[in-house]
Structure 1
Amino acid sequence: MQAAASPLLHSGFQASVQRVPEYPALSLRGQTWTYRELDGIARVWASALVKLEKRPKRVGILGHRSLVTYAGFLAALYAGATVVPLNKKYPVARNQDVLERAGIDVVLVDQGSLAQLGRLLDGLADAPSTVLPESDEAPANLPEGVRVLTRRDLEDCVPLAEPATADPEDGAYLLFTSGSTGRPKGVPISHANVTAFLAANTERYGFTAQDRFTNTFDQTFDLSIFDLFMAWGSGGCLVPMDSFDLMTPLDFVRRNDITVWFSVPSVAVLQHRRGVLEPDSLPSLRWSLFCGEALPAATAQAWQEAAPGSVLENLYGPTEATIACLVHRWDPRTSPAGAVNGVVSIGSPYPGMAAAVLDEDGRPVPDGETGELCLAGTQVFEGYLNAPEQTESAFHTTVSEDGGIRRWYRTGDLVRRTAEGAHGYVGRLDTQVKILGHRIETGEVEAHLLRQEGVAQAVVVAVPGDEEGVTVLAGILAGDDLDVYEVDDRLRETLPPYMIPLTYHLLDTFPLNVNGKVDRKVLREQVVSGDLEPVLL
């Protein structure tokens, strides 16, 4: 069984080091590290971090599915820092924006990300120190004056005797989510927030040291926290999947004897559409967990038949409420009837969390009617990084009959609550959508499009993709002498791949609604119907 709840994110890992030191903690590309070995590496790297900064406040991690991204996460926590994941697949400009706004003191970089490092640090007024655990020497293109520790330097570091002390209210990690202003919003999550999440899942799932977990998410996606720290808190083994593994995920499960599957529903939807979710084809799975976007009931049913020995659950939660905070356990006999528009229920709140369905003024709506899902409880963050106005608009405050004041985080998701306390997902209140599990403000994509030469107007809408249950973005543009190919190329320099529209459509003038605003509904209908033909790229 997993260790009891502890006050810090890495406490469960440390307990497993003591309990099962020689058990495998990480299996990556044919190499395996035990808990004792991974702990030893993290202590050496933490020593290097502290050597560069007495106690670094925030440590960035730039890499992808490497020892650095896993041991580095632990090392940053051991050093008493808040972890700030960066993504080597993102444009340099986006990573640089995150690095500056987060105030990163030190950045850990894996070998595969060195090519980006020089450009990332170039032009910064106060470039952070850098640790290169997999490199024998620093790249030649680093800005002058940047302090660097290489693999050779780490060999001289004495392992940190004990992890730095931290308060449960200190930041455990800091993620940046899509923002409507064109800049991502910083979401600080405390140790108290995330250990409340881990405690709820420990109680619910009872994972053991014999479990083997997938890791399908990048570390810039908060669902990855579940993978790492639920695995390590239980004494189980983390078995990360790379991009090519996700093309044939069922083979990966069988080849690696995976017992705990966790992914966005899109992965399962694609396998269902391909017809490869054959009954009894995933015998090793004990748990099948999905989160990050709507789960089609038909896909849930097909996956359950493929993994009849597993319990299938649909989890829900925004980054601001720490990974997931509502859950529905799939039952083939009753769950299909509870689906809304063919989408599996998102269920009921975790212990320590409360959910309310409110109208735009913050008043409760009756069960069965549609309203905005709002959340309160131990997992809800305090507010966005250095953004008091955004924070204020993200919350409703209610006063009960006895005078009690409660602060509710507004998810922007529309739901209907049943008399039994379950919640059916209806859609989005605003223009925020989810693509492959990533939350995207279409306004952010529009803001970047409007910066491109020749673009006078830009609207981005979410439309159905070719695969059932898959959503894609379409960009509708207006402007004189507009070069769509050039616009697309420039957009890819500033936005990650999942935020790039799949299709572009040109209009001379945009339709307006009765209020004189651009009629997004009409534009979306024109794209879906084919009336607005896409520009061939």
Structure 2
Amino acid sequence: MKFIQQLAASILNYRDRIAFHINGVDYTYAQFLYKIEGIRGSIRSQIPDDEKLIGLVTHDDLESYAAILALWFEAKAYVPVNPKNPAERNLQVFRQTDTSFVLDSKPDGSLNQFELINTAELGDESDLSVLKPVEDPSKDLAYILFTSGTTGLPKGVPITYSNMQGLVDAIDADEPFNLAPDDRCLQMFELTFDFSVVAYLFPLLAGAGIYTIPQDAIKYLYIFKLIKEQRLSVLTMVPSIINYLRPYFGEINAPSVRYCSFGGGALHFDLAKEWSNCLPNCQIFNYYGPTEFTVYSGYYPYHKETANKSYNGIISTGSPLKNVHYLVADENNKEVSDGITGELCLGGIQLTPGYWKNPERNKKVFFNYEKNGEIIKYYRTGDLCFKDEAGDFMYVGRADFQVKIRGYRVELAEIEYHVKNVMKQKVNVVAIDVLNRLENAELALAFESNNFEIDYIMDYLKEQMPPYMIPSHIEFIAEFPHSLNGKIDRKKLRTYFKL
């Protein structure tokens, strides 16, 4: 694929520049190349050509990133697991992919049943003036990421090289976003999370520097440190992280930042506005896209000086990227009219071939639909939205965040909007559904704060919403539970409510 050749050229062209800043240590592209070629040598000598899915234990180190590119240059795919996850969960991932070989820079003995390659011991002392990837992998797999599944088993999302080329082409065609070799780019994501792909791929294509977060660090504090001390210029973040930075907004003035991209969660207008004031020279983008569609499918540019589109206080997800098809559909997979809420469905070259060995799930979420004389395969995202008169898509909420209370359908995002609209305190608030002793759903509010008076909030809600939409359970929680990738863990949050 073209992007594979571009990666090879970039690594050679910028040999003397900083490729990674990891735990306070700088590594050049030449050092990166040394590791890549050493790992490639072991792949070629130890792994058969027909073994395409290779396990990768992810760490915050140069070897983990080098392993990814080494596998790509050998037309293989990486299957990442987090060493902090339960061992059984990681084994489930490798069992589903029939993995035999695992790359690991810090083997601890827990995966000795596999053929382990210790990447920390590998390097290539030979001539590194030439970097030649193998033949075009085309529709071969580039990676498989596993997310939580409804059956209790992790759910695999395979992404092909063609999917990735579609993403690169779409971003390249978008003029407002262009990285340069001088950029210093934040990479805050664990390598099992899809946003990590854009956080390392596009900087590497540009010969830019990548600044990572140590796995044991407090993410938001380390990001604060990197922005200030390393003068980062490109930030890729989830919105929940800057909620934690909010107490420091008065101290943050980062003129070095020129791009800040959000994704992986709803971006609230008030938060975007306050954060924008900390970044005087920055363009802010609200990207949208699920793992199943190779990270990004579209975006909305936040406007510092003019009005911004939002719905229930959430910034618009904007419009699709090049060669991406959006369809707002009803429960029968039929397109609804503009202005009508439905489920957002995505089609195009970036779409995964389907969930790994999961035909039942594939039947539920993928469908073919004829539009403008063309039959397109679509994926149902589970996100509710509507298309406005200008062609922008407005986020309404998750289909699975749409709950039934006493037979009424309730949008949890609407409750959160009204609470935030009146709340005097600047704290996180989440509306969720909880089950009472009779297994009936009731509404609850969780505030990430010490106790404070909320009578005025409840009075306001009673003025704005019908009785069945008024939360009946309240909890004040010092710190919300989060996933490894910074998202609020709503499932765990429910356990704080004792009904």
- What TM-score do you get using the length of structure 2 for normalisation? 0.80
Corresponding residue to 2:245 among 264, 267, 271 = 271
- The superposition leaves residues 371-428 of structure 1 with CA deviations (integer Å, 9 ceiling, x where unpaired) of 10011111111111111221121123223474x3221111010001111111111111
SS in 2 for 1:68: helix
Letter in 2 for 1:38: F
Per-residue deviation, 1:308: 1.4
Which runs of 5 or more residues in structure 1 are unaligned?
1-5, 122-126, 135-150, 434-460, 477-506, 514-520
Corresponding residue to 2:7 among 13, 16, 28 = 13
1:103 equivalent to 2:98? Answer: yes
Structure 1 residue aligned with 2:482: none
Corresponding residue to 1:57 among 43, 52, 58 = 52
Corresponding residue to 2:271 among 294, 299, 313 = 299
How many residue pairs get aligned? The number is: 435
Corresponding residue to 2:387 among 417, 421, 424 = 417
1:93 equivalent to 2:96? Answer: no
Which runs of 5 or more residues in structure 2 are unaligned?
404-411, 443-466, 477-493
SS in 1 for 2:391: coil
For 1:259 and 1:428, the matched residues in 2 are separated by 32
Stretch of structure 1 that moved more, 199-208 or 404-413: 199-208
Stretch of structure 1 that moved more, 357-366 or 215-224: 357-366
Describe the shift of the 1:157–1:169 C-alpha distance in structure 2 as closer, same or farther (beyond 3 A).
same
Describe the shift of the 1:248–1:522 C-alpha distance in structure 2 as closer, same or farther (beyond 3 A).
farther
Letter in 2 for 1:50: R
Describe the shift of the 1:173–1:432 C-alpha distance in structure 2 as closer, same or farther (beyond 3 A).
farther
SS in 2 for 1:14: helix
Describe the shift of the 1:156–1:311 C-alpha distance in structure 2 as closer, same or farther (beyond 3 A).
closer
Corresponding residue to 2:227 among 250, 253, 259 = 253
For 2:135 and 2:146, the matched residues in 1 are separated by 25
Alignment of 1:194-233 (within 5 A): 194-204=164-174, 205-233=177-205
Structure 1 residue aligned with 2:369: 398
For 1:354 and 1:219, the matched residues in 2 are separated by 28
Letter in 1 for 2:184: R
Structure 2 residue aligned with 1:367: 338
Per-residue deviation, 1:512: 7.5
Corresponding residue to 2:291 among 319, 325, 337 = 319
Per-residue deviation, 1:79: 2.6
For 1:208 and 1:158, the matched residues in 2 are separated by 27
1:240 equivalent to 2:245? Answer: no
- Residue 352 of structure 1 contacts residue 378 of structure 1 at CA under 8 Å; is this kept in 2? yes
Describe the shift of the 1:231–1:425 C-alpha distance in structure 2 as closer, same or farther (beyond 3 A).
same
For 1:526 and 1:467, the matched residues in 2 are separated by 22
- The superposition leaves residues 494-520 of structure 1 with CA deviations (integer Å, 9 ceiling, x where unpaired) of xxxxxxxxxxxxx5432289xxxxxxx
Describe the shift of the 1:154–1:288 C-alpha distance in structure 2 as closer, same or farther (beyond 3 A).
closer
For 1:197 and 1:33, the matched residues in 2 are separated by 27
Structure 2 residue aligned with 1:500: none
For 2:167 and 2:102, the matched residues in 1 are separated by 27
Structure 2 residue aligned with 1:181: 151
For 2:131 and 2:300, the matched residues in 1 are separated by 43
Alignment of 1:369-384 (within 5 A): 369-384=340-355
Per-residue deviation, 1:63: 2.7
For 1:473 and 1:90, the matched residues in 2 are separated by 26
Per-residue deviation, 1:323: 0.4
- The superposition leaves residues 462-501 of structure 1 with CA deviations (integer Å, 9 ceiling, x where unpaired) of 997997456598875xxxxxxxxxxxxxxxxxxxxxxxxx
Structure 2 residue aligned with 1:493: none
Per-residue deviation, 1:210: 0.5
Letter in 2 for 1:181: T
Letter in 1 for 2:118: L
For 2:426 and 2:145, the matched residues in 1 are separated by 30
Alignment of 1:522-533 (within 5 A): 525-528=471-474
- Residue 221 of structure 2 contacts residue 245 of structure 2 at CA under 8 Å; is this kept in 1? no
Per-residue deviation, 1:256: 0.9
For 1:13 and 1:270, the matched residues in 2 are separated by 35
- Residue 511 of structure 1 contacts residue 522 of structure 1 at CA under 8 Å; is this kept in 2? no
1:309 equivalent to 2:309? Answer: no
SS in 2 for 1:239: strand
Higher relative contact order (CA 8 A, sep 6+): 1
1:426 equivalent to 2:396? Answer: yes
For 2:376 and 2:74, the matched residues in 1 are separated by 35
SS in 2 for 1:277: helix
SS in 1 for 2:39: helix
For 1:156 and 1:108, the matched residues in 2 are separated by 20
Letter in 2 for 1:360: E
- What TM-score do you get using the length of structure 1 for normalisation? 0.74
SS in 2 for 1:224: helix
- The superposition leaves residues 188-234 of structure 1 with CA deviations (integer Å, 9 ceiling, x where unpaired) of 10111112112222343111101111101101111101111100000
- Residue 8 of structure 2 contacts residue 132 of structure 2 at CA under 8 Å; is this kept in 1? no
Stretch of structure 1 that moved more, 83-92 or 51-60: 51-60
Per-residue deviation, 1:36: 2.3
Letter in 1 for 2:301: R
For 1:93 and 1:533, the matched residues in 2 are separated by 23
Describe the shift of the 1:370–1:42 C-alpha distance in structure 2 as closer, same or farther (beyond 3 A).
same
For 1:534 and 1:524, the matched residues in 2 are separated by 19
Describe the shift of the 1:468–1:342 C-alpha distance in structure 2 as closer, same or farther (beyond 3 A).
farther
- Residue 139 of structure 2 contacts residue 162 of structure 2 at CA under 8 Å; is this kept in 1? yes
Describe the shift of the 1:267–1:193 C-alpha distance in structure 2 as closer, same or farther (beyond 3 A).
same
- The superposition leaves residues 274-320 of structure 1 with CA deviations (integer Å, 9 ceiling, x where unpaired) of 2x223871111010111000001011111111101010010000001
1:68 equivalent to 2:63? Answer: yes
CA RMSD of aligned residues (A): 3.1
Identity of aligned residues (%): 27
SS in 1 for 2:335: coil
1:77 equivalent to 2:72? Answer: yes
Per-residue deviation, 1:11: 3.0
Describe the shift of the 1:535–1:326 C-alpha distance in structure 2 as closer, same or farther (beyond 3 A).
closer
For 1:305 and 1:156, the matched residues in 2 are separated by 49
1:191 equivalent to 2:161? Answer: yes
Per-residue deviation, 1:166: 3.9
Letter in 2 for 1:190: T
